[in-house]
Chains A and B, each alone.
Chain A
Amino acid sequence: MTAMAQPVSIIGMIAGLLGVIVLVSVNALFLIWMERKVAAHMQLRPGPMEVGWHGSIQTIADALKLLGKELITPRDVDRPVYLAAPIVVFLPVLVSFLVIPFSHNLIIRDMHVGVLLILSFAALTVLAILMAGWASNNKYSVLGAIRSVAQNVAYEIPLLITLMSVILMAGSFSLADIVAAQSKYWFVLSQPLAFILYIICATAETNRAPFDLPEAESELVAGFHTEYSGMRFALFFLAEYTNMFIVSAIATVFFLGGWRGPFLPGIVWFLIKVYAIIFLIMWFRWTFPRVRFDQLITFAWKILIPLAFVNLILTAFILKLR
């Protein structure tokens, strides 16, 4: 299954795990700050300014506050499922980092089926949301969970199909091979439609505006995590922001040439591209109003999936002719 030439040592695994955990936490802290700043500047205000330089450690203060909060478990929840949901939402997020190529040799485990690993574990997030919503015994949570499941089923299909057309061009499911296939030009140039479709689907997959129906605060309080407090809530939050990083990392690997770039080291180029995509997704959030549920589903089944199929068939056709 694994494609690594040399066996992975215990020390390497521990170092990789520590690196992933540090990356996940620092990334979430940075992204929350970045989101608040982006939102603020689009609304002509400065955003957090008080804690640290331009409010840069405001998120750490907020995290400390969340750590100190009481973990409230409502009386009528389905206890085991309720307690398991924050863990189930967080674990697949960690696994996905195993196969992301940060640089040409900075990849914890290069698998032949890296794409499938990430996408299948990303699907577990839906399970966790369903668990959280159902076990909370709260109508808003259940409604949020129902929306999340319907949305993710609808948007996973075009997501996979658009990625398939890139996989056809690269001829491999391995993320490192896909980056290697873009040594001449980035796939965003040959697959612009797939890139646009992927970004739309990724926004929906991470439950972000304009597709943030599962946690629509103006309709459903906080959606599926209404009943979660303290660090349990923080885990959902952490998972959401880490998912943003992962979908942006996939976009970078598939369409923007991964870690490739002149002058700077690979990891720097990779992070620049990832955060550029994340900025794009934040830009969506502060521009577009939330879609209605029927619009959301109609958009997926009537527009995204046909376009993705047309793109896939055309790609296959052109590749066969060449």
Chain B
Amino acid sequence: MVSYFKEILTGFWSLLAGMAVTIRYFVKPIVTVQYPREKLTMSPRYRGHIEFLLDPETGTHKCIACEMCARTCPSQLITVKGVKVDAKKKVPWQYVIEYQYCSLCGLCLESCPTKALKWSNEYRLAGYSREDSVIDLLTRFQRQQRLAGVPVTPIPEPPAEPEEAAAEGEVKE
């Protein structure tokens, strides 16, 4: 008989405890956002696809088209093609990643000798075909420059001898 009433009381108390939890959550601020109109700000450590780092001193990227990233990439999804602008300096005239193969391992960032790459905050990557996830980092970098309000770096012309450039710069079949 005592256990009967004890069970009722403890049961009732546990129900009240459960209701206290839900009412606490009821008055908490909501965590979801109304997506197309509101967007989340990504955390600084968020790993999107790679993009060029905007160098605050020169106002442009630091890529020297050494192709270290392209060689180290386990999925071989980076295509870098460089052109010599003078005797010492080389710049990329094409930098394309096929993001659909990317496993976000980060080896390209680690291997980059000039630290020209960084993770982007991009998360809206839905597309209708596989080709939609092929990203041209040079045009993307021009957009970054426009947003930052610095002079836009023009994309250089490809080198004059196409067969030589193909022999040098091609890393993917």
Contact = CB atoms under 8 A, between A and B. Distances in A.
A42 B18 contact: no
Contacts of A286: 22
Nearest to B27: A41
B34 A283 contact: no
A42 B26 contact: yes
Contacts of A318: none
B15 interface: yes
A44 B19 contact: no
Contacts of A41: 25-26, 30
Interface in B21-64: 21-23, 25-26, 28-32, 34
Given A41-B26, A42-B25, A287 B34 contact: no
B22 A49 contact: no
Interface string A38-80: 1011111110010000000000000000000000000000000
B160 interface: no
A288 interface: yes
Nearest to B33: A46
A298 to B, nearest CB: 12
Interface residues of A, number: 16
B29 to A, nearest CB: 8
Interface string A20-45: 00000000000000000010111111
Given A283-B19, A283-B23, A46 B8 contact: no
B32 A287 contact: no
A303 interface: yes
Q: Which of under 10, 10 to 19, 20 to 34, or 35 or more describes the interface residues of B?
A: 10 to 19
A46 B25 CA distance: 12
B22 A287 contact: yes
A193 B143 CA distance: 69
A49 B25 contact: no
B30 A287 contact: no
Q: Which of B18, B29, B31, B32 has the most CB of A within 10 A?
A: B32
A241 B28 CA distance: 27
Contacts of A38: 26
Given A288-B15, A303-B8, A42 B32 contact: no
A283 B28 contact: no
B15 to A, nearest CB: 7
Contacts of A49: 34
Contacts of B21: 287
Contact of A44 (B15, B18, B23, B25): B25
In the A-B complex, list the 7 residue pairs whose CB atoms are closest, starting with the nearest. Answer: A287-B22, A45-B32, A44-B31, A287-B18, A42-B26, A42-B22, A46-B30
8 contacts: A41-B26, A41-B30, A42-B22, A42-B25, A49-B34, A283-B19, A284-B19, A286-B22
Interface of B: 8, 15, 18-19, 21-23, 25-26, 28-32, 34
Given A287-B15, A288-B15, 12 more contacts: A41-B26, A41-B30, A42-B22, A42-B26, A43-B25, A44-B30, A283-B19, A283-B23, A287-B18, A287-B19, A287-B21, A288-B18
